Structure 1
Amino acid sequence: MQNRNLLVCLLITLGLWGSNIKPILGQALVPHILQLDSAQLEQTGLSLAEEALQLARFQQFELALSRAELATELAPNNQRTWALLGSLYIQAEELEEGIAALQQAQELNPRNAEIRFVLGRAYFQTSDYKNAIEQLRKGLKFKPENPGALFDLGNAYYKHGKFKRAIAQYEQAYDLEENLWPAINNIGLVQYEMGKVDDAIAQWREAVSIDSKAAEPLLALAVALYTQGDKEQSLAMGEEALRLDSKYADLDYLEKHLWGKRLIEDAKRFLATPRIQETLAQIEDLPQSP
């Protein structure tokens, strides 16, 4: 009853007692919401994207991803936020999410070559070589003199079984960047699968002449020479290559580096030789660098 009297007094004070206005029951106060314009939201999103980029540089990918995701929500029509998010997803090996984000970036800016290049590499990682080729070729229409993209296109053609086209892309990449020994190395990989062993050997010799510390072409050269019967020289080369980088003794690692079936089978026999096995045992016994 006391509460009712208080309510009556309040209504009289407000001049509402006896009027036809009835109190509205069951409603809460409507909060005031601060309205931000789209330009402010986009600027905040771009600031978050910059933070994400800085975090990624320090290998803090989880924090970088959370900021990049929020950046796309605040700036959904900016291709830079989607491109960054896609790149971070790919670095985190979340390829499907990365491709989806990059597709969004590409739709917002279809003429951006770099987005198509990254998207092409992402498709390559999922073994979707057809789409990888399509995206890389479209990107090269806007930026044709890009050795990295030409090299990637060569890899996609190679895995797609288009050997001659792969070699042509590697050659173009090397013409643009003269010290790009991986292009020469990969021409050798393709030629070996085509049965052109002598041509492959010539390519690997050239790659080694460009960079004497490159373990991959040196090991490939050793394997090819061993298969041809040059045991002593090939074993010495193989030992040197594995001392430069022992990861190349792993057949799965070789496959990831696009060594074909023929070369891997020959490498398996070469790596199983007692001398190479002894060398690998010695490498494993060496103290590891901190």
Structure 2
Amino acid sequence: MPKYVRLISLLVACSVWSMPKVVHAQALLPHTLQLDGARLEKQGLSLAQEAAQLAQFQQIDLALPRARLATQLAPNNDKVWFLLGGLYLQSKQFDQAITSLKKAQSLNSKNADVLFALGSANFQQKNYQAAAEHYQTGLKLKPNDTEGLFDLGNAYFMLGRMPEAIAQFNKAVDQDKKFWPAINNIGLIKYEQGDKEGAIKQWQLATNIDKQAAEPLLALAVALYVKGDSQQGIAMGASALRIDQRYADLDFLKQNLWGERLLADTKKFLELPGIQAALQERDDSSSSNPGNTQ
């Protein structure tokens, strides 16, 4: 990663060599470079805007140096620090993300989105208790935030606080009836608790909301297969993996909070000839269309 010299250091250096030599009995004060704070901040905000635009196109490597420089030019702007923290978060530099986000929080303690981002950084570092605390604080400021409620539910999920997790997921759905990820995760909990029928109902609801959502479709397929509806289960599973083949990776499923019981059943399901055929079909299609990036 390239190093960027602080602009203020360059300006100070310039001020040193621009100062005239001292003359005894000189009446005039030596000239010093005057920094225009408002102008520097304006430049910083412009850089931050460029960084945000680059981030929209996933050009994080280009966005980060601009955001870092922006924080030097506009060090008292909480939004600039929030942007930098978010970019570090996207690039999985979690310690740097937390440092930047805490700076944003110190400048504006009322920004719930900063607290949610701190929660996410801690969650991804598997510090679930700290994540939950940040989400809770953020929700005090923004109590009806759908994703904040969902994220708190996930933190409770990882802490083993299942009734509280389900309560948060239900609150998220109350805010947005079409927010299928929360419905899906209720299904994940129910399956681990042995309530397969309850899980199936949740996943059916999620797939009815979004027919292109691969995760609940695959979970539903596995549950139906285990239940004995093998034909429908295999057909659904093949469809899910055609939508998104990442769900054939057990590690990816574990990252998405799939529990041990569902993972064990899914491992057997993925080994079925019909599912292997669907995966091979997708591989063959990708090989024949090398320019396809989907």
5 Å matches for 1:130-279? 130-279=129-278
* Amino acid in the other structure paired with 1:221: L
Whole-Å separation in 2 of the counterparts to 1:47 and 1:211? 38
The alpha carbon displacement at 1:103 in A equals 0.9
Whole-Å separation in 1 of the counterparts to 2:232 and 2:38? 67
Residue equivalent to 2:100: 101
Q: 1:105-148: per-residue Cα shift (whole Å, max 9, x none)?
A: 11111111111111111111111111111111111111111101
| Residues 283 and 145 of structure 1, relative CA distance in 2, 3 Å threshold | same
TM-score (normalizing by structure 2): 0.84
Whole-Å separation in 2 of the counterparts to 1:59 and 1:228? 42
Matched position secondary structure for 1:199: helix
Q: 1:37-89: per-residue Cα shift (whole Å, max 9, x none)?
A: 43333333222222222232233322321121112122222211110110111
Q: 1:248-275: per-residue Cα shift (whole Å, max 9, x none)?
A: 1111111121111111111001111122
- Which one is further off, 139-148 or 49-58? 49-58
- Which one is further off, 47-56 or 253-262? 47-56
Whole-Å separation in 2 of the counterparts to 1:96 and 1:226? 43
Whole-Å separation in 1 of the counterparts to 2:53 and 2:242? 36
Matched position secondary structure for 2:182: helix
Unmatched runs of 5 consecutive residues or more in structure 1:
1-27
- RMSD between superposed Cα atoms in Å: 1.9
Whole-Å separation in 2 of the counterparts to 1:247 and 1:198? 26
Matched, 1:111 2:103: no
Match of 1:29 among 15, 21, 43: 21
Percent sequence identity over matched residues? Answer: 54
Q: How many residues align?
A: 264
5 Å matches for 1:56-135? 56-135=55-134
TM-score (normalizing by structure 1): 0.85
Unmatched runs of 5 consecutive residues or more in structure 2:
1-19, 23-29
Matched position secondary structure for 1:115: helix
| Residues 151 and 273 of structure 1, relative CA distance in 2, 3 Å threshold | same
Whole-Å separation in 1 of the counterparts to 2:75 and 2:39? 13
* Amino acid in the other structure paired with 1:131: A
Task: Name which one, 1 or 2, has greater alpha-carbon Rg.
Answer: 1
| Residues 280 and 63 of structure 1, relative CA distance in 2, 3 Å threshold | closer
Whole-Å separation in 1 of the counterparts to 2:90 and 2:47? 18
| Residues 56 and 214 of structure 1, relative CA distance in 2, 3 Å threshold | closer
The alpha carbon displacement at 1:166 in A equals 0.8
